[in-house]
């Protein structure tokens, strides 16, 4: 028996960690059950620790022994099987610490190409890439005398340095307030893009560590760093604000060989601003002048850098998978009815377009990026030109390229777009031109597959996967076009699915840290993390929205269930407690209106506060959803989150906390029954008001059955159309199927009309839409066409249709076969190995096939109620 798929902190051989403890994990092969393990570790070649033989079936280990900056640990594991026979050692796996103390950076300085004045330039550029920023400025400026500053050029910084010693163990540590690209001897450092990544710069600035041994040479070496605005000061997607974290971008870097510095950022560097990137903005795009690509040769353009105040305390390692270029798409050039030249890349994605073409000096190429064509087949951006903020023109997601004579090659540096279609505006002949789209997202492995006999459902699964790819760029965002914001509500409802279909633990964990940074003193969780606009009264007022803030409890618990990593619960526990205390205070507050004042559990009933409610519920505009009161939603989440928090406290050993939250949750449950039911029964014409209490366990067993029956009848009356919004759409099929109404759940799933999951697929969608009618029946597009939230139904396909209900502690397989989709099969690469479950019909028989990895026992529950406990291997069941 042998250990495989060994990882440290959910990554393979990471470097540059600054963790306080390190989570090791592995899978098993060539055996049935692990009965013991032994881990042997070296630190910089010297013995670090040896666990000896540990009697355990756990395939994880937590290193809590202190490490120092730059320490490199090599570890391997051997395991004993069910016959107490020890197998071969695994391969050595490594991880390396980064710079753990602020003093480790002391030789380096923050430097900038910016001197405080607008760079003088013989070629002026209009701010066409961002008229939105100008609109936002005019609306919010405090003094008439304030002047709008156009978008700034990228900064180019360089230095030569000498190496006369061995180049082994060469590391570049680097970060920026903005975005950076680093080049050593003309070669790009690393494969990561949009570095240092996205975070709340008021609390942390991520840095990266690169192995640059192969880029160095003996003698003189050259390093160049290009700086762009990035999330630090680009236009925000919510209100068009700029300079959210500051108005000066800068970089800090340190190159060490053999753990000794050989190059740092300091006053010996020189800078230039008259390079080819004339303007840049994360959301709006880039202006690139290829005639300036000879800037390196013009010594008169270079000047000493500006050295800024030393500030090392916020520098933190990311401890997460990097953002990289992934899939590549070649486009099909077409001409629209309006005569526009448009490239269709066939897939809605987040990323950018690279091109090669032959040009003439001064000729221009403009690329506009959009998600769809309009009802007449012409290019449009109107679906994400938000109601007020982006209307009245505002060139958006644009690249403006100025050619040089001859061959031109371009790939964006400091921007990312959401698109499928690209409109090309140019006088040039595009014959021979090559346009390629790069999908850009965090380097997450795909961990689940699902196929069935319905091709539309299979495409729905792909669409959900692509919406996750398009929105998991360092953090989970709502969409890659309009707002690009880390909304809590979206992440909370999608976490279960997102953690199953892609290995996204480090992305969610990083995002949770941003939630902690943004929590208000009274416990409220900011709805967007990290911030995406300047703080204001409305943002703070809405920060108490239930269902959104509860993500701070739901997401850590989902990660824990998948991984068994208690650290996720520990590092977020105080945030959870503060949020729940806010819910308690909200419940105790009395509203202005009469609201069942004599109820026994009034102190556990929501009757005040502003909430988003169900959100995007068909037939209800957002303003209605928020004016509704949503007190049933608040009370339901008060109970549900209390129940989860009780379980979390118990895992962490806080027994008193656990008992308290359990009691509070139970009282909130009684408050819900008392205030929002009639003798325990739900009476409503809204699907969501049945789904929520069913899946949250708020009703008695008898009344839950009644509620499920009423939900089924309501779904039938609506002819199997969805009537749910963000919060309950992920759960409606589960609520029906778990209560015996599988047929209704399947018919709901297969609805091809609007509102229904397959309507968008029939309309040619390649991602999940924000609303059910993202493109209406007349072909008119509206809203974002890349929002992962409704794709959470894929979770039910995996854990309902194929029945893989995975948990680190206990896994159950309980499939729900139904002839309506012919057959189904799912595969989940769980933290413990690959689990497979599927079913097919052979005449009157249904064959259920299950495959379990080494070192797992699962409970299999048949549709007829029979239960089996099975171990590793393949097994067929016939019913």
Structure confidence by residue, pLDDT tens digits, 594-631? 565 557 898 999 988 778 889 888 888 777 777 666 78
DSSP 270-330: EEES-SSEEEEETTTEEEEEGGGTTGGG-GGG-EEPEEPPP--TTEEE--SPPEEEEEEEE
Q: How confident is the model at residue 239 (pLDDT cuts 50, 70, 90)?
A: confident
Q: Tens digits of per-residue pLDDT, 630-668?
A: 789 999 999 999 999 999 999 999 999 999 999 999 999
Does 456 have pLDDT greater than 90?
yes
Helix (H, G, I), strand (E, B) or coil at 224: strand
Q: What is the DSSP letter of 418?
A: E
Structure tokens at 440: 């850009």
Question: What mean pLDDT is predicted for residues 80-108?
Answer: 97
CB distance 348 to 38 below 8 Å: no
pLDDT tens digit sequence for 342-388: 999 999 999 999 999 999 999 999 999 999 999 999 999 988 875 45
Nearest to 28 by CA among 56, 59, 60: 59
pLDDT score of 627: 67
Percent composition of the chain: helix, strand, coil (DSSP 3-state, to 5):
25, 30, 45
| Res 178 pLDDT > 50 | yes
Task: Name the residue among 754, 42, 770 with its Cα closest to residue 470.
Answer: 770
Q: Across-strand partners of 848?
A: 839, 877
Which tens digits make up the pLDDT trace of 728-783? 999 999 999 999 999 999 999 999 999 999 999 999 999 999 999 999 999 999 88
Most distant CA pair in the chain, distance? 84
Q: Could you give the C-alpha distances from 255 to 189, 193, 195, in angstroms and in order?
A: 12, 19, 17
Q: What is the pLDDT of residue 152?
A: 86
For residue 846, which of 820, 822, 874, 879 has the smallest C-alpha distance? Answer: 879
448: β partners: 828
pLDDT at residue 135 tops 80: no
pLDDT in tens, 58-79: 999 999 999 999 999 999 999 9
Residues 439-452, mean pLDDT to the nearest whole number: 98
The pLDDT mean for the chain works out to 94
- 448-801 architecture in CATH? Alpha/alpha barrel (1.50)
- 475-478-481 Cα angle (round to 5): 100
CATH of 325-442, one of 1.25.40.10, 2.40.50.100, 3.40.50.2300, 2.60.120.260: 2.60.120.260
In terms of phi and psi (left: phi > 0; alpha: psi -120 to 50; beta: otherwise), the region of 280 is: beta
Backbone angles phi, psi at 310, to 5 degrees: -65, 130
Fold of 102-138+150-320: Jelly Rolls (2.60.120)
Listed in order, the ranges of the chain carrying CATH 1.50.10.10 are 448-801
Give the model's pLDDT for residue 387.
Answer: 46
**CATH of the domain spanning 2-97, picked from 2.60.40.10, 2.40.30.170, 2.130.10.10, 1.10.3720.10:** 2.60.40.10
For the cut 70, the answer to whether the pLDDT of residue 117 exceeds it is: no
pLDDT of 392 strictly over 50: no
Quote the percentage of the chain above a pLDDT of 90. 85
Please report the pLDDT score of residue 609 as a whole number. Answer: 77
Residue 596 Rama label (left phi>0; alpha psi -120 to 50; beta): left
Q: How far apart are CA 788 and CA 471, in angstroms?
A: 8
Task: Pinpoint the residues of the chain covered by CATH 2.60.120.260.
Answer: 102-138+150-320, 325-442
**Distance (Å, whole) CA 786 – CA 34:** 43
3-class secondary-structure state, position 196: coil
| Residue 237 predicted with pLDDT over 80 | no
Cβ atoms of 49 and 10 closer than 8 Å: no
> 533: closest CA among 524, 523, 545, 543?
543
Note the pTM of the prediction, 2 decimals: 0.96
Question: pLDDT higher for 203 or 542?
Answer: 203
How many Cα atoms sit within 13 Å of 810 on the Cβ side?
5
- pLDDT class for 592, splitting at 50, 70, 90? low
295-307 in b/e burial notation, b at 16+ Cβ within 10 A? Answer: eeeeeebbeebbb
Nearest to 690 by CA among 670, 671, 714: 714
Q: Is pLDDT of 391 > 60? A: no
Q: Is the per-residue pLDDT at 537 higher than 60?
A: no
**Per-residue pLDDT band at 124 (split at 50, 70, 90):** low
**Confidence band, pLDDT 50/70/90 cuts, at residue 692:** very high
């Amino acid at each position: 028996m042998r250990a495989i798929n060994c990882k440290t902190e959910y990554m393979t051989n990471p470097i540059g960690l600054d963790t306080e403890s390190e989570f090791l994990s592995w899978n098993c092969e060539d055996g049935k059950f692990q009965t013991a393990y032994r881990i042997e570790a070296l630190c910089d070649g010297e013995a670090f620790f040896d666990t000896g033989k540990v009697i355990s079936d756990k395939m994880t280990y937590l290193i809590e022994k202190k490490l120092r900056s730059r320490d490199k640990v090599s570890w391997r594991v051997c395991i004993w099987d069910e016959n107490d026979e020890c197998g071969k050692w695994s391969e050595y796996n490594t991880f390396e610490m980064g710079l753990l103390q602020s003093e480790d950076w002391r030789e380096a300085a923050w430097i900038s190409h910016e001197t405080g004045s607008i760079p003088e330039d013989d070629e002026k550029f209009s701010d066409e890439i961002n008229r939105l920023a100008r609109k936002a400025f005019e609306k919010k400026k405090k003094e008439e005398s304030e002047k709008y500053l156009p978008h700034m050029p990228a900064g180019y910084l360089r230095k030569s340095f000498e190496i006369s010693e061995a180049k082994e163990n060469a590391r570049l540590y680097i970060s920026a307030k903005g975005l950076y690209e680093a080049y050593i001897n003309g070669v790009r450092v690393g494969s990561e893009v949009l570095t240092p990544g996205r975070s709340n710069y008021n609390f942390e600035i991520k840095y990266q560590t690169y192995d640059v041994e192969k880029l160095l040479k003996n003698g003189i070496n050259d390093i160049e760093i290009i700086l762009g605005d990035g999330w630090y000061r680009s236009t925000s997607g919510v209100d068009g604000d700029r300079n959210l974290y500051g108005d000066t971008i800068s970089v800090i870097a340190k190159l060490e060989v053999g753990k000794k510095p050989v190059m740092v950022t300091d006053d010996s560097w020189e800078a230039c601003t008259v390079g080819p990137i004339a303007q840049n903005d994360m959301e709006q795009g880039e202006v690139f002048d290829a005639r300036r690509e000879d800037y390196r040769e013009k010594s008169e353009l270079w000047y000493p850098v500006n050295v800024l105040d030393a500030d090392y305390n916020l520098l933190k390692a990311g401890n997460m998978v990097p953002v990289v270029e992934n899939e590549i798409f070649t486009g099909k050039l077409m001409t629209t009815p309006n005569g526009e030249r448009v490239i269709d890349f066939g897939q809605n994605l987040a990323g950018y377009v690279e091109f090669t073409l032959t040009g003439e000096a001064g000729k221009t190429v403009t690329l506009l990026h959009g998600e769809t064509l309009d009802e007449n087949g012409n290019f449009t951006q109107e679906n994400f030109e938000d109601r007020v903020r982006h209307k009245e023109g505002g060139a958006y997601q644009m690249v403006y390229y100025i050619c040089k004579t001859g061959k031109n090659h371009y790939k964006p540096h400091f921007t990312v777009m959401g698109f499928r279609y690209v409109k090309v505006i140019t006088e040039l002949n595009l014959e021979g031109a090559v346009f390629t789209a790069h999908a850009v997202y965090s380097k997450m492995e795909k961990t689940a597959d699902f196929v069935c006999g319905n091709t539309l459902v299979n495409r729905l699964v792909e669409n959900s996967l692509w919406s996750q790819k398009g929105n998991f760029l360092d953090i989970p965002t709502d969409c890659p076009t309009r707002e690009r914001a880390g909304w809590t509500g979206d992440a909370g409802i999608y976490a279960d699915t997102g953690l199953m279909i892609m290995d996204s633990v480090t992305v969610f964990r990083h995002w949770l840290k941003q939630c902690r940074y943004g929590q208000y003193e009274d416990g409220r969780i900011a709805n967007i993390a990290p911030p995406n606009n300047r703080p204001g009264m409305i943002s703070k007022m809405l920060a108490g929205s239930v269902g959104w803030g509860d993500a701070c409890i739901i997401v850590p618990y989902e990660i824990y269930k998948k991984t068994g990593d208690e650290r996720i619960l520990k590092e977020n526990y105080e945030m959870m407690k503060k949020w729940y205390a806010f819910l308690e205070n909200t419940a105790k507050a009395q509203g202005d209106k009469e609201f069942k004042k004599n109820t026994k559990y009034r102190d556990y009933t929501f009757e005040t506060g502003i909430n988003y409610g169900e959100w995007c519920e068909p037939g209800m505009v957002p303003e209605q959803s928020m004016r509704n009161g949503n007190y049933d939603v608040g009370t339901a989440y008060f109970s549900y989150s209390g129940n989860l928090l009780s379980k979390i406290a118990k895992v962490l050993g806080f027994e008193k906390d656990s008992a308290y939250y359990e009691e509070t949750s139970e009282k909130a449950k009684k408050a819900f029954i008392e205030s929002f039911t009639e003798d325990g029964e739900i009476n409503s014409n809204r699907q969501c008001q049945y789904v929520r209490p069913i899946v949250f366990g708020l009703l008695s067993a008898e009344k839950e059955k009644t509620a499920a029956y009423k939900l089924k009848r309501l779904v039938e009356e609506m002819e199997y159309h969805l009537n749910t919004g963000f919060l309950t759409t992920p759960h409606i099929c589960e609520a029906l199927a778990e209560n015996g109404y599988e047929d209704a759940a399947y018919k709901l799933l297969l609805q091809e009309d609007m509102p229904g999951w397959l309507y968008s697929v029939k309309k040619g969608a390649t991602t999940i839409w924000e609303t059910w009618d993202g493109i209406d029946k007349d072909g008119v597009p509206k809203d974002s066409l890349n929002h992962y939230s409704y794709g959470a139904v894929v979770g039910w396909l995996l854990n309902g249709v194929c029945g893989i209900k995975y948990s680190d502690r206990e896994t159950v397989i309980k499939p729900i076969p139904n002839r309506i989709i012919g057959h189904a099969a799912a595969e989940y690469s769980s933290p413990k190995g690959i689990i497979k479950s599927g079913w097919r019909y052979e005449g009157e028989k249904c064959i259920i096939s299950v495959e379990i990895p080494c070192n797992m026992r699962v409970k299999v529950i048949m549709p007829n109620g029979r239960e089996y406990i099975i171990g590793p291997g393949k097994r067929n069941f016939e019913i």
